[in-house]
Structure formats: structure tokens, C-alpha cells
Amino acid sequence: MKDSTPGQFPGGPVVEARPPAPGDLELVRAFVNTRNVERRTDAVDTPAGLTAWLRDRGLLDPKIDATDEDVARALAVREVLRAFCLRNNGVDCECDARVLNAAAERSGLLLDFAGGDSSLKPRQPCVDGAIGVLLAAVHRAMLDRSWGKLKACADPACLWAYYDRSKNGCSRWCNAGLCGNRDKVKRFRERQAATAAKAIDNPTAP
Ligand SMILES: [Zn+2]
């Protein structure tokens, strides 16, 4: 495991200064952030971890435990969701919708009109059903256009999911002071290296 500066990153790669995403979209954001890319940790990469995470959120029947196959499918869905979030941040990346389509089909999402309103509900409270609840939240967010504000940090070493509440909707980093600053330093060094390379190519240039 990669070390992190003690006290600087409690619970994530960055100080969680941002407010949560609206409604159930926060559940999706939290699910994407079960993997901490910077710290190289994953809260749901074992059957016990996935079971606990889903149960803590009331998404899984207490009598059901996640299997290795459930974990593999959940991780695949999560990483495609992260890719979608990255695309929401203007990063050109592959987003394999077939993974989400297959997960939606397995969850057996049904339209439910109980209470005079409509919602998508999974057929069973199993792991596939729980993933279906997350996908239904994504679907709702796509309809009300809040989805485009759920982004993954543009720093490839971070990729933390955050909800962009900035006025112009152009926030690129989960934390401008950390990931944004890291990008500035990287660009500065690249410019310095390019200038040095030019000086070597043209030693007589003024
Ligand atoms: Zn970040």
C-alpha cells in the first residue's frame, strides 16, 4: 500500500471539502470512490467488503452474501461508471456501455408505479439487484441532467469522483489545491524540459 501523509487525506486522496451529490447520485459517487486510486485501496474487492458496503446502505438482503463473481461484476460496473464520470470531465476515454447494459439486465429492473409515481426497482434484493439500484440512480440523473456534473478527477493518479457545483461547471479537479496544483507543477516542469531541450538543439541561439 502506498503511504499517504498522515492527517492530510482522511478517508480519501483529498480532503472531502465538496458537498455531496444530490439524492441517490451520492450513492453512485460513493460507489465509484470505493476504490481509492491514489492510496491503492479498495473497499469492495472482496466478497466480505462488497457485502458490508451494500448492507451498510440497505441495498442487500441480510441473508445474502456477495460471491467472487458478484465482486468481479461490481468492479467492472464501477470502473465503467468511473470512465463515464471521466468523460463528464472532458476526458476522452473508452466507456463500455455494454457492461452497464448487461448489469441492468441481470438486475431485472422493473418500472414500479406504487404511490402514483414511477421508479425503477430491481426484481430481487440480491447483489445484482443492488447494482441495479445504482444504475437506476444513474438513469434518473441522466434524465434530470445532474449526471453531467458527476465527474472523475482529471488527474490520472487520482480519479476521485466528485459532484461539480461550480458556477461555470468547469471544475476539473476533485481538489484544486492538491490535484490542480500537481497538474500546474507537472506542466511547469514539462515547459522547463522543453526549453532545456531547445537550448541543447540550438546551442548558439540567443
Ligand atoms: Zn483529484
Q: What is the pLDDT of residues 68-124, one digit of tens each?
A: 999 999 999 999 999 999 999 999 999 999 999 999 999 999 999 999 999 999 998
48 contacts: CB under 8 Å, gap ≥ 6? 66
Element (H, E) at 71: helix 68-88
Ligand 1 centroid – CA 13 distance (Å): 7
Give the pLDDT confidence of 130-157 residue by residue, as tens digits.
999 999 999 999 999 999 999 999 999 9
Rounded Cα distance, 139 and 160, in Å: 21
Q: List the chain domain ranges.
A: 25-174
Per residue in 158-205, pLDDT (tens digit) is: 999 999 999 999 999 998 888 988 888 888 888 888 888 888 777 765
Ion ligand 1 — residues with CB < 5 Å: 153, 155, 158, 160, 174, 179
pLDDT for residue 9 is more than 50: no
pLDDT, residue 4, reads 35
Contact 74, 52 (CB under 8 A): no
* pTM of this structure: 0.85
For 107-110, the CB contacts below 8 A with 24+ separation are 107/131, 107/132, 107/133, 107/135, 108/132, 109/135, 109/136
Strand partners, 151: 162
Which residues are 36's β-sheet partners?
41
Determine phi and psi for 81, rounding to 5 degrees. Answer: -60, -40
Q: Ligand 1 centroid to 50 CA: how many Å?
A: 24
Distance 172 CA to ligand 1 centre (A): 9
Tell me, which fold does domain 25-174 have in CATH?
Jann2411-like fold (1.10.3300)
